[in-house]
Structure 1
Amino acid sequence: MLIETSKRLAQQAYEKILELILSGEAEPGEMLTERRLAETLDMSRTPIRDALLMLESEGLLKRHGSRGLQVKQMRIEDYMEVLQIRLLLEPEAARLAAGHLTAETISDLRKRLHDLIDGAEKGATRPDREAVRAVDDGLHGAIANMAGNAHLAQIIHSLRRQTQIFDLRSIPERLTSTCQEHLALIDLLEQGKSEEAAEAMREHLDHVRASIIRRLTPQ
């Protein structure tokens, strides 16, 4: 029971610190200390320490000597290298996951994607990045989890966390096109079309990469 409580608290601390990083409240290069985080999050230092180790192992934090852990500054070269690995792994995950996502998961993802598209078409205020990220995580996470390989899912999860920091800061929102690509991918996954799903995932990630290149290439 004590071990379960400790793990639960560490996971809660992990989620809270991760949100600080992804929201930009904890900026690239900023040093994160157990004491300050414990005060900010109103938690004890033990789960904070465990959470920081988890984030370090995922490549989101970098140890900086005796000073502690620093939020990693993601360079474009880092992003492209990680995305290249994702291009190798995630199409295969989509191929393996085809036909295995639950009807409930598919229905929920479709609804949330259509809601985002409807909001954009109606000229609503800019969608909350957290909501957009949650849908993106929901789809890519479900595919990784249903590929039938826990190690593959863990690697994809870690790689996505690393590129997500760059996504939120440096590339434009591809909201409508991304949602449409995701909806097409969901259709293929639901129909169990494994090879087509793999190709759709590859094209989606290629489009993400192309959007970054366009954004960063001088006009």
Structure 2
Amino acid sequence: MLIETDKRLALQAYEQILNLVLSGQAKPGMMITERRLAETLNMSRTPIRDALLMLEGEGLLIRQGRSGLQVKQMRIEDYMDALQIRQLLEPEAARLAAGHMPPEILGALEADLKDLLHSATAPDGKPDRGSVRDVDDRLHDGIGEAAGNPQLAQIIRTLRRQTQIFDLRSIPERFEVTCQEHLDIVTALRDGRADDAADAMRQHLAHVRDSIIKRLAR
């Protein structure tokens, strides 16, 4: 029971620290220490230490000798390299996952995506970034898990963490298009159309890449 409690606390710490990084509160180049985080998150240092090790393993934090860990300054070259690998792996993961994701999970994703689209078209609509990232995580991570290869799922999760630093803040014009692309992926997965699921994922990631390139060229 104690081991399970420790694991749960470490995962809670992981999610909270990850949110600090992805939300920009912990900025690229910022030094992170166990003591400061323990005070900020009101947690003991043991789960904080375990969470930092996980984030270091995913490449979001870089160890700087005895000084502690530093939030990685993601170069655009790093981003494009990670995205290129995602383009190789995630379409195949979607192909393997087609017909194997639980209908209730896909149904919830479809409903949430439609809600996000509706919120964006409302007069005072402004999609909540936390909700956007939650849906994105549930879809892409769910595909990785449903593909039936735990190592593939972990590799994809790690790559996504690295590319999430460049999220929809960088390309806000992609919001509605991204939601529609995700809906296309969900539909193909639900119908068990493996080739269509792979094609939809491939097109989605290619459009993300093209949008980033277009933004950089401005």
What TM-score do you get using the length of structure 2 for normalisation? 0.97
Q: C-alpha distance in 2, partners of 1:85/1:74?
A: 16
8 A contact 1:32–1:69 mirrored in 2: yes
* Cross-structure match for 1:162: 162
CA contact (8 A) 1:172 1:215 kept: no
Does residue 89 of structure 2 align to residue 89 of structure 1?
yes
**1:8 matched to which residue of 2?**
8
* Residues 1:56 and 2:56 are matched in the alignment: yes
Superimposed CA distance per residue, residues 52-83 of structure 1 (whole angstroms, 9 cap, x where no aligned partner)? 00000000000112100000011110000000
Alignment match, 1:98: 98
Identity of aligned residues (%): 67
Q: Secondary structure at the match of 2:161?
A: helix
Question: Deviation digits for residues 19-78 of structure 1, max 9, x if unmatched?
Answer: 111111111100000110010011111111111000000000001121000000111100
Return the alpha-carbon distance in structure 2 between the equivalents of residues 169 and 66 of structure 1.
Answer: 33
Which residue number in structure 2 is paired with residue 153 of structure 1?
A: 153
Deviation at 1:212, TM superposition (A): 0.3
Residues in 2 aligned to 1:24 and 1:175: alpha-carbon distance in whole angstroms: 19
Q: What letter corresponds to residue 210 of structure 1 in structure 2?
A: D
CA offsets 1:128-180 (integer angstroms, 9 cap, x no match): 11111111111111111100001100111111011001225533341111111
Matches within 5 A, 1:1-219: 1-218=1-218
- Matched residues in 2 for 1:32 and 1:170: separation? 24
Q: Is the 8 A contact 1:22 1:164 kept in 2?
A: yes
- Relative to 1, partners in 2 of residues 1:7 and 1:173: Cα closer, same or farther, differing over 3 Å? farther
CA distance in 2, matches of 1:26, 1:171: 20
Segments of structure 1 that go 5 or more residues without pairing to the other structure are none
- Quote the Cα distance in structure 2 between the aligned partners of 1:151 and 1:115: 33
Query: Take 2:155 and 2:38, find their aligned partners in 1: how far apart are those partners?
Result: 28
What's the secondary structure of 1:25's corresponding residue? Answer: coil
Residue 10 of structure 1: how far off its partner (Å): 0.9
Question: Contact conserved, 2:22 with 2:165, CA < 8 A, in 1?
Answer: yes
| Distance in 2 separating the partners of 1:46 and 1:112 | 35
Q: What is the CA–CA distance in structure 1 between the aligned matches of 2:168 and 2:155, rounded to whole Å? A: 20
User: Any stretches of 5+ residues in structure 2 without a counterpart?
Assistant: none
User: Do the aligned residues in 1 keep the contact of 2:91 with 2:201 (CA within 8 Å)?
Assistant: yes
TM-score, normalised by the number of residues in structure 1: 0.96
Counterpart-to-counterpart distance in 2, 1:112 and 1:167: 19
Give the aligned residue type for 1:19. Answer: N
Question: Alignment length, in residue pairs?
Answer: 218
**What's the Cα RMSD here?**
1.1
